[in-house]
Structure formats: structure tokens, C-alpha cells
Chain A
Amino acid sequence: MRYYVRTGNKQHRFDLADVVDLSKQLSFELGKYLIRLVVKNISPQGEIKSVYVNNKYYTVNIRCRSDGVPYKVILNGHAYPVQIERVESTRYKPPVISQQPLTEVRSPLPGTIAKILIVRGEKIAKSQAMFLLETMEMDQEILAPRDAIVENILVKEGDLVHKSKALVKFQS
């Protein structure tokens, strides 16, 4: 099977056997150098927890979406976003990754809406402050994730919001 994985600005291509034996040392040629990888620790659920790569030990944490496709790999506490772009295989098809822009913003934390800084219909720019959320003894600005037009504001000043409560809807 052939996997195309994107990290940052790079695209990687890995050819893996149909059945990968994780109990053996694996070698991959990557451009000019060789990655020798030994899986040291694997959880009962089959998640890779630590590896020994080219003479260095890493604790590993791999975050997967609900359909099992990884989107982030954490090596020794440093997070690397990964994107599986394509899998060429006759046996397995990973679900298609949707690329639609965000149409709403949800509260990242529970708290009280102290101030609303946008109005309905307003054209807002990326990183513009939209709400002031009072939480954890602090004021927290909630910023716009992209340029957008405000279609609807779903909260009032003084509202107590839970985590993931939708705060604002953008025009799509």
C-alpha cells in the first residue's frame, strides 16, 4: 500500500507492506537518509506509544479522528499536525477529508460572555476579536478564525456558556 502524508510544507510517500509487522525493526529510505524505527511500546488498543528511531527514544501520542485517521502526532511533547492525503490500496479506503471552511465558532471554554465586539452583518477580518469571555479569573478574547461575514450571533452579553456552545454563525 502506498501512503501520501503531508506535514508542514512537505509531502512524504511511504510504501508499506500489506501486513506490517510492528514487532520488527522497520527501515525506510527518505530522500538522502534512512529511518530505522523500532516500536518499543504499544497499547492494548494497538496505539503506538513509544519508538526508538535512529538512536533516539521518543514517547509518542497519536491523535486520530473518530474514523481512525490520524491528524496529529506528538513526539516528546512536540505536536506535529499530519494529513493523510491519499492511500493507494485495493483493500482499504480511508474516509474523504472534508475541506469546507468553518461556518461557526464555538466556545473553547465554559465561561461568561462579558462583551460582544461584533454585530450582525459585520464584515470581520481574521484574528479580529469577536467576544470577550470571562473564564478562569481572566478575560479571554475569542478571535475570528478567518475573514467572514457575521450571519447571526447566538449569545447575549452576560450569558453563561458551556464548552462547545456555538457563539456565532458566518455566512457560507
Chain B
Amino acid sequence: MFSKILIANRGIIRTNCVQVARELGAVAAVMSLPGDDFGLGERTADEIYVLDTKDPAHAYYDREAIAELAVDIYADAIHPGYGFLAQDALFATELRDRGITLIASGLLDDQHSITDKTKVKQIAAELDIPTLKGSSECATFTEVEEAAAGIGCPLIIKPLNASGGLGLNVCFEQSKLQRTYDNIKLRLDTAAAACKTVFIESFLPQARHIELPVLRDSFGNIVSLPPLEGSIQRRFRKLIIESPAAFSDDKLIQQMTVHSCRLVEHLGLVGCLSVEFLYDGNDIYFNEINGYIQPTHLVTHAHTGVNLLAQQIKIFAGEKLDITQADINPRGHALGVSINAEDPENNFIPSTGALNQRFMYSGMGVTVHKTFVEGEKLSSFYEPVLAQLIAVDQTRTQTINKLITVLRSYILEGVKTNIAFIEAILNSALFRAGKMDSSYIHQPKALKELITVNVDEKEEDIAALLAALTLANDAQTKNSLLQSHSGSLWGKVKQIFNYANR
């Protein structure tokens, strides 16, 4: 096992990594930014390093500073979590020269990695895995235009190493191509993640997203886990994840499982991989493969009992997988949702402020992975994910009901959250029937229904009454103050003020 792991990430994954690193007997070191309130990840870590940076928005992308820190503190591994440097598989070669392991995979050789999506697609196609029609790498608009003519709209323009939905742009009409490209180009020129070229792919507006986690150790042992579904997305980020997928075509799931294992083996990847497929109502298409731990690992953990994060770290430490396919015995149905500090009624603008948690139900089958501590001020530079709630129960319906019950009892104050919005999606007939796809919450009518808060008339009455009482109480306080200290109060205040200012 590693002696010290530097965790180069924030939020929930940092908290999880600290926990797991310590469970495995490694020292957990974390990075913090100047001005950050110490959250749960920092408070539970063995060592905290506050970065000396003038550019907090890009601090977790700073390869050089992070590598130097790891050397300075004698860390023998860096866990990049997800996002940030996790996508930067070539960083691993740089670290290898310094004797440090990057706990994320994706290297094909020393110059190429799986973040080169066009190359991976090509390899997948060679293995007879169905892929979407797409282009190769495009550096100029002329190249994009030519490729688009062959593919047809709707299409999606992606940065070559896109991840986490950043910079993805959909174009529905040929005439808007230039505008879409200009938009994405501008973003790429200023974006934190270094990537300057794009590729295009035909876009499935009503797709279901199925993700297959695969574990593979350096001895070639491979284990695949149940398919996850994350079809409810906003801005290409998954809001609700379930394991197993609600999509239940056994034949296709079997096919996807076989495809994903073959691809992982063919690419020679080790660690915790995630292979994503899209389903358009008829066929499946390979979408992408990621070599880093996914935010969805918690849902798989709840469903199967397999801790992907711990397995991943053990594999990178050179250990043999201690489970086989026969040990994967999923139970019931697991659902996970992200609670974000954002305002659904106001175009989902992130909400900042000091967080206050009033009540949180927990119990058998309910796990709350949170990142904040009471009163913590949220940083405005990073994604406002506050917590992941995971529920597991015997059937899908029971799990949905359980999660809704938990969400109703969850009171977070100080910031606006998407709790009511998530609750509304879970409660919708489409989701309950398991027939949702990625277009659902983008349909203006559906979205409007989902963000309309159901007003409880009796609660409205109580609210009005409390407002009146508060004002009455305030008036009472003011009146009594003025009466009891009439005249002398201001004199007294003035006296104290003068005294303090001498």
C-alpha cells in the first residue's frame, strides 16, 4: 500500500478519498485554497496543505505545483478524484519519472491517452463495438464545416478531451454551426482545462445513458459491475444515478457488458474504468471510456457492497483483485442524487452563502455523503455540489419512495438548493415508470412543471401569520426600549460611543 496519498481534488470525492485512504492504512494529505473554510475533507485529513496561489479557480489543474507538493511531502501517490487532473492521463508519465503513481488510468502509450476520444472511438469500431457517426479531430472551422456536412444535424461539438460536460455544444441547424463553433472556441481559449481542438459527433436528443463500471488489476483479472443509468441530466451532468439501470433489456445489457470488458482488455487499462453507452430507443452506441473514479461509485457501493474507490487504490498499489465475478451479488435497487447549491427557479444560478444544516434523516439504507460542515462558507470558484444522497431498498419503487421521504426531511439553510427539483423529478410519472431519457428535463413544459413549487396553502397561512408576529414582536421590542429608557437611552449610547472614541 502507498504510504502517503495526496488528494488533488475537493468536495465529496476528497472526503471519500480521505476516508478510504485511511481505511487502507495510508496517510491522507489534502490540498486547500487560501480563504477556504476547512470542510469535512480537510478536517478529517491527516495533513492539510494550503496552496500558495493567486489563481484559485485553476489551482487544481496546476500540474507543476501539485507534482512539486507531492515530492515535497514525500507522497508516493496522487489521487486526482474526478474532473481536474483525472482527465489528464499524460500527467501520469510526468509523475512516473518522479516516482509517484497517479491513481487514474488512461495511458495508451507515452504520447497517447484515452482522452483522445476520436482515437478510442476508432479502436472501439475496430472491435465491432457500435459507435456514433463522428469526425476526426478538427482544428479550424472549415474542417468542422466539412465534417458536419457528412454527419448532418443535430450534432454535438465536443472538445477532444471533454469531460464533465464542460464545453459540449449541441447544434440543431446547419445555419447555426458557425455560431456554435465560435461559442465553443471562445470557451476553449479561456477554459481551465488545456484543450484546443474539437471533434463532432451526431447527437441523440433522446438518449439513455448507461454506464458500466469495470475493475481490472495489473495481473489481468477483470470484474464487471451492474450497469448504472444516468439519463436524467442537466448540462450533460447526471443528476440522478441508479444501479441497476432502469433500462432493462437484458440482451443489450449483456452485450454492453461484453463490449466494455473487451475494450478495457484491448486497451490494456487497469484500475477502475467506466464505459458509457447511449441507447436511442433501438440500438446502443459506445460513447466514451473514463479511467478515473466516477461520482457514481457510491451508488455501485450501495448496490453491490463493492467499494470501487478502495479497489482502485489497491490495484494501483500493485495488489491483486480480492474479488471475482462470483462475488458480485447486488441487492435490491440503489438510487443516488446530488444536492447542489443552485436556484432552479432562477435558471439554476449557483447559490453561495454560509451553510446551515438543520435536519437530516438517516437510517438503514440511507447514506449521506456530504462535504460541508455547519456554517461553512461555500467557495464560489467550484461546482456547488453539497452532498450526495444514496438510498437502497428492495425494489425500484420502494427506493424512490425512500429517497423522496429523505429529501422531504432534509433542511439546508443559508443557500438555495435543488432538493425540491430533484424530488419533483423522482415523483414524476415518467421517472417512476423508468421511461426517462436525456431530453426529459430540457423540455420547457416539463421543466416548468418540475420547478413550480407546490404551495401548501396551510403553510402559506402559517408563513403569513409568522411574518405578522415577527413584526409585532419587533415593534414591541422597539416600543418597550423607547419607553423604558426614554430619553436616557440615546444619552447612554452617546456616552459609551464617546468613551470608546477617546
Contact = CB atoms under 8 A, between A and B. Distances in A.
Interface of A: 1, 3, 5-8, 10, 12, 14, 16, 18-20, 22, 26, 28, 30, 35, 37, 46-48, 51, 53-54, 58-62, 64, 68-70, 73-78, 80, 82, 84, 87, 89, 91-92, 94, 108-112, 114-115, 134-143, 158, 163
Given A20-B472, A22-B473, A28 B420 contact: no
Specify the main secondary structure of chain B where it touches its partner: helix
Contacts, number: 162
Contacts of A138: 166, 235, 350, 383
B473 A82 contact: no
A92 B481 CA distance: 13
B235 A69 contact: no
Interface stretch (B119-127, B185-193, B435-443): B185-193
A48 B466 CA distance: 8
6 contacts: A3-B471, A75-B463, A76-B411, A78-B456, A110-B381, A135-B381
A112 B383 CA distance: 15
Contacts of A37: 462, 465
B61 to A, nearest CB: 10
Contacts of A69: 471
Given A62-B467, A73-B466, A91-B479, A8 B455 contact: yes
B460 A3 contact: no
A77 B463 contact: no
Contact of B381 (A5, A12, A78, A136): A136
A67 to B, nearest CB: 9
A136 B350 contact: yes
Contacts of A76: 411
A84 B471 contact: yes
Contacts of A7: 460-461, 463-464
Nearest to B460: A7
Contacts of B465: 5, 12, 14, 28, 30, 35, 37
A20 B186 contact: no
Contacts of A158: 190
Contacts of A73: 462-464, 466-467
Nearest to A20: B472
B473 A20 contact: yes
Contacts of A19: 476
Contacts of B469: 16, 20, 22, 26, 48
Q: Which of A20, A78, A143 has the most CB of B within 10 A?
A: A78
Contacts of A54: 458
Given A134-B190, A138-B235, A14 B468 contact: yes
Given A3-B471, A84-B471, 19 more contacts: A10-B464, A12-B468, A37-B462, A48-B470, A51-B462, A58-B459, A62-B467, A70-B466, A73-B463, A75-B462, A77-B413, A78-B453, A94-B471, A109-B352, A114-B187, A114-B190, A136-B382, A137-B192, A138-B383
A108 B460 CA distance: 27
Interface in B172-216: 183, 186-187, 190, 192
B461 A92 contact: no
Nearest to B358: A59
Contacts of A47: 470
Interface of B: 83, 164, 166, 183, 186-187, 190, 192, 235, 346-347, 349-350, 352, 358-359, 380-384, 410-413, 419-420, 453, 455-456, 458-479
Contacts of B453: 78
B260 to A, nearest CB: 28
A77 B384 CA distance: 18
A62 to B, nearest CB: 5
A58 B461 CA distance: 13
Given A46-B477, A59-B359, A112-B190, A77 B464 contact: no
Contacts of B459: 58, 75, 78, 80
A68 B474 contact: yes
A70 B413 contact: no
Given A59-B359, A74-B413, A140 B463 contact: no
A64 B470 contact: yes
Nearest to A2: B468
Contacts of A111: 380
B455 to A, nearest CB: 6
Nearest to A89: B475
A54 B457 CA distance: 14
A115 B186 contact: yes
A92 B478 contact: yes
Contacts of B350: 109, 135-136, 138, 140
Contacts of B458: 54
Contacts of A3: 468, 471-472
Instruction: Identify the 3 closest CB pairs spanning chains A and B, nearest first.
Output: A80-B463, A73-B463, A3-B468
A70 B471 contact: yes
A77 B462 contact: no
Contacts of A14: 464-465, 468
A82 to B, nearest CB: 4
